[in-house]
Chain A
Amino acid sequence: MRTLRSFSFRVLVVAWLSVTAHAQQVTFDRILHADREPQNWLTYSGDLAGHRYSRLTQITPANAKNLELQWVFQTRGPAEATEKFEATPLVVDGVMYTVLAPNHVVALDAATGRMFWMYSPRLSPLARVCCGRINRGLAILGDTLFMGTIDGHLIAIDAKIGKPVWDVALSKPELGYSLTVAPLVIKDKVIVGPAGGEYGIRGFIAAFDAKTGREVWRFNTVPGPGEPGHETWPSGSNAWEHGGGSIWVTGSYDAELNLLYFGTGNPGPDWNADPRPGANLYTDSVVALNPDTGALKWHYQFTPNDEFDYDATQVPVLADIEWQGRPRKVMLWANRNGFWYVIDRASGEFLRGKPFVRVNWAEGIDEKGVPKRVLHATPEGTLVYPNNQGATNWYSPSYSPRVGFFYIPTWMDTYSTYTKGPVEYKEGNQYTGRFPTMTVPALRTGPGAVNTRTPQEGWGAIQAFDAKSGDLKWQFKMSDVTDSGILTTASDLVFAGGREGYFFALDARTGAQLWKGNVGGQVSAGPMSYAVNGRQYVAIAAGSALFVYALRQ
């Protein structure tokens, strides 16, 4: 008994003393300078610039053929068909944190995949999610993880023991407000926004105090009466109240400019613009906000008065490149609408917009950045390239500052027929119009991928463009489309996957295939890389499992 007491005394006193002395806190300074600790992956994109670029170099084009599966983490039980595993894990000092669909958080030993803890919040049965009961990942600050839930809550979770610290509701889940985005931490705030553009939500971006969960500011992606931009909605109508403008993916941040960037989703209803004549700001746009106040600095709208579901649901990629002979802070953006853009990220000035797939809805983009639109949805049906899922979608592109290329996961040669149908807003119901026809399934998941299409009905590619010149440098072609994000590394590797269930490594300069692994299920997530005890790993979620690779020892 004496030994027991002395053990307990020692354990507990040491624990008490160590809280401040030894705990490895993830400060915002660490997040801001994530490049100094490439063994860790502290944010959704790996850095605040949205590059999804690892500075680890152990795995190279020469040795990538020796990649070997190290461990697999299976989600529990068969997931529902729409419960794709879309999360990018975080890794902090040897511990991996990720989210299994819909909202199960796990802490794993990053070297072995064995589990420390799991946290599963009780979710409201009223939650409505148009496109999958999914989650894209976590944010961390200090010892606290942050997760959005499909029933529209933001939850702070203790990273050591997996217990909730605070839990706030953003809005009503029964009206379609849900959170699928991995939150973004800027300074002392956690920033998220709701999905739900298919249910007639009115979107917003909101910042919460990381310590308490108190809402600090809210920026409405559909401005109300009296707010600038409201004039782009019909007067004398309440169309703006159901105007959409969802937030589906994590934003980016430029510390020097102190600007926060987010892409916004489609206007509601999706496929019939009759209730909402006008440009419909700030849907299908990128907005630049002051992260301390939520004040709008500038915006750029990719697709005014969208009828084709071309959400700007992409991670803003912030690159510093030479532009017309002088260094310039730009933003690279491959959009669902089939164009990829270069935008001045200090001013919002449009610099360039070029198609990266077959596009027929617009004949290019004018010098002011406005698409020269030639097609509209009609009652008879209009055939539009690219299709309703877009030329790319929520899955992350990548930028290698070493190579200077912008890498885009692409749906090639896809098309939809848009037939204008009646639409009426009813609380909690989908508010979209008639679903367009497509030759490629929108959200296929699960095992047993089947593809019997001709190339003319759509195919997939990883495309590399020179950020400076805009030239296509190479294409890695796949017979099926891809919902995979892209990772680049400082050893000039590209990692990506696709619906066919392969995960592969390419040469970042040439696109040559160096290695592939069969993961046996659709890749619907972004790869990431980390290191433990000097060994580099690459992780990818596919099907309902997480696969982790390293070089054979």
Chain B
Amino acid sequence: MTRVIGLLLLAVAAVAAQEHSYTQSDIENGARLYQSSCAGCHGPNGDMVPGIELQRGQFRRATTDTEIVRIIQSGIPGTTMPPSSFTEAQAGTIVAYLRTAATASGRGGRGGRGAGVAGNVGSGQTIFEGKGACATCHRVGSIGPRLAPDLSDIGAIRTPGELQQKLVDPGAFVRQNNRFVEAVTKSGTKISGRLLNQDTFTIQLLDSNERLVSLSRADLQAFTFVKGSPMPSYRDKLAADEINDVVAYLVSLKGLRP
């Protein structure tokens, strides 16, 4: 019972603590800073430190935005959370990103609108499959090519903030599992694709013909990681509303065992 009351208080606190309204650019900037400076310890989804779920509004020592900003700037003495050189405004954008993620994590199931997301799911799907040409590279369910990340359950594993950021600045953060590589064999054959696994002696990838390929490093003359992301930015290709719609559609994709 204590636990239930505690959770309720936490939820109330999370809503009450959100003191500001954030702009879209705050959220995007915050997402970028989070992924570059915080994700290393807290994890891409903010849940890698036990007892803390940053993207679900579950903090150990802070409730208000101001308190979170102070912790980001000063760290927590006696713990592994270090101080940073972020300005108050920069730290504020990280809070903006985390708060958006926390709102989204309370989302409901498939609906006309993804909870906490401004866009329309149906319009988003239309753009995804049509004007945005997202389906040209991405797979949903059993439809679409496999080289780019499969998005069948993307709404269950990513926050709206992350998805939004990916659409406008895809190269800002590329996850380990989504890295592209190029290899050249000693006989001159070029092989490119998405890296699946590597070790000292071998490399496994899904090549550009969608084949599972295993290479011996001894047979290669070159092996390089492709910098950034092959995905184009939609910042200038889609209107803000359209991006919100696509995000809403992506948030609605929950996989088969949600």
Question: Which residues of A are at the interface with B, using a C-beta cutoff of 8 A?
Answer: 4-5, 7-12, 14-16, 18-19, 22-24, 94-95, 107, 109, 111-112, 114-117, 121-122, 144, 155, 158, 160-161, 163-167, 211
Contacts and interface: CB of A to CB of B under 8 A. Distances in A.
A156 B256 CA distance: 11
B36 to A, nearest CB: 20
21 contacts: A4-B226, A4-B228, A7-B182, A7-B226, A8-B180, A8-B229, A11-B208, A12-B145, A12-B147, A15-B145, A15-B209, A22-B210, A23-B209, A107-B212, A112-B202, A114-B199, A116-B196, A116-B206, A121-B257, A163-B152, A211-B142
B192 A116 contact: no
Contacts of B180: 7-8, 11
B32 to A, nearest CB: 18
Contacts of A155: 256
Contacts of A116: 196-197, 204, 206, 212, 214
Contacts of B230: 4-5, 7-9, 11-12
B136 interface: yes
A206 to B, nearest CB: 19
A114 B257 contact: no
Interface of B: 136-137, 139, 141-142, 145-148, 150, 152, 180, 182, 192-193, 196-197, 199, 202, 204, 206, 208-212, 214, 226-232, 255-257
Contacts of A164: 152, 255-257
Contacts of A23: 209-211
B141 A160 contact: no
A19 B210 contact: yes
Contact of B145 (A10, A16, A167): A16
Q: Ordered nearest first, which 6 A-B pairs have the shortest CB separation?
A: A8-B230, A109-B214, A167-B256, A15-B147, A18-B209, A165-B142
B146 A115 contact: no
A11 B227 CA distance: 14
A392 B105 CA distance: 53
A163 B150 contact: yes
A160 B204 contact: no
A122 B257 CA distance: 7
A112 B214 contact: yes
In this complex, the member of A16, A144, A155 whose beta carbon has the largest number of chain B beta carbons within 10 angstroms is A16
A211 B206 CA distance: 23
B220 to A, nearest CB: 15
Contacts of A16: 136-137, 145
A173 B193 CA distance: 40
Q: Which of A95, A109, A122, A155 is most buried by chain B, counting CB atoms within 10 A of its CB?
A: A109
Contacts of A11: 147, 180, 192-193, 208, 230
A139 to B, nearest CB: 17
Contacts of B141: 165
Contacts of B227: 4
Interface-centre pick from B206, B214, B227 (highest chain A CB count, 10 A): B214
Contact of A160 (B148, B212, B228, B255): B212
A112 B197 CA distance: 13
B216 to A, nearest CB: 8
Contacts of B226: 4, 7-8
Contacts of A165: 141-142
A95 B146 contact: no
Contact of B257 (A9, A24, A144, A167): A167
Nearest to B182: A7
Contacts of B206: 116, 160-161
B53 to A, nearest CB: 18
Contacts of B136: 12, 16
Residue of B206, B211, B212, B255 with most partner-chain A CB within 10 A: B212
Contacts of B192: 7, 10-11
A22 B145 contact: no
Nearest to B151: A163
A4 B171 CA distance: 11
Contacts of B214: 94, 109, 111-112, 114, 116
Nearest to A9: B230
A167 B152 CA distance: 13
A112 B136 CA distance: 33
A448 B252 CA distance: 50
Given A107-B212, A114-B214, A116-B204, A158 B147 contact: no
Most interface-central of A8, A14, A115 (chain B CB within 10 A): A8
A84 B197 CA distance: 27
B209 A22 contact: yes
Nearest to A124: B257
A172 B256 CA distance: 17
Given A11-B230, A23-B209, A23-B211, 17 more contacts: A4-B230, A7-B182, A8-B226, A8-B230, A10-B192, A11-B180, A11-B208, A12-B147, A15-B209, A16-B136, A19-B145, A114-B197, A114-B202, A114-B204, A116-B196, A160-B206, A163-B152
A127 B141 CA distance: 26
B145 to A, nearest CB: 5
Contact of A12 (B137, B199, B256, B257): B137
A504 to B, nearest CB: 29
A112 B201 CA distance: 10
**Most A CB atoms within 10 A — which of B141, B147, B148, B232?**
B147
Contacts of A8: 180, 226, 229-231
A35 B211 CA distance: 24
Max chain A C-beta neighbours (<10 A), residue from B145, B180, B199, B206? B145
A16 B150 CA distance: 14
Nearest to B196: A116
Nearest to A166: B256
A107 B142 CA distance: 18
Nearest to B136: A16
Nearest to A213: B256
Contacts of A122: 257
A18 B208 contact: yes
Contacts of A15: 137, 145-147, 208-210
A161 B147 CA distance: 9
A62 B180 CA distance: 47
Contact of A14 (B209, B232, B256): B209
B197 A115 contact: yes
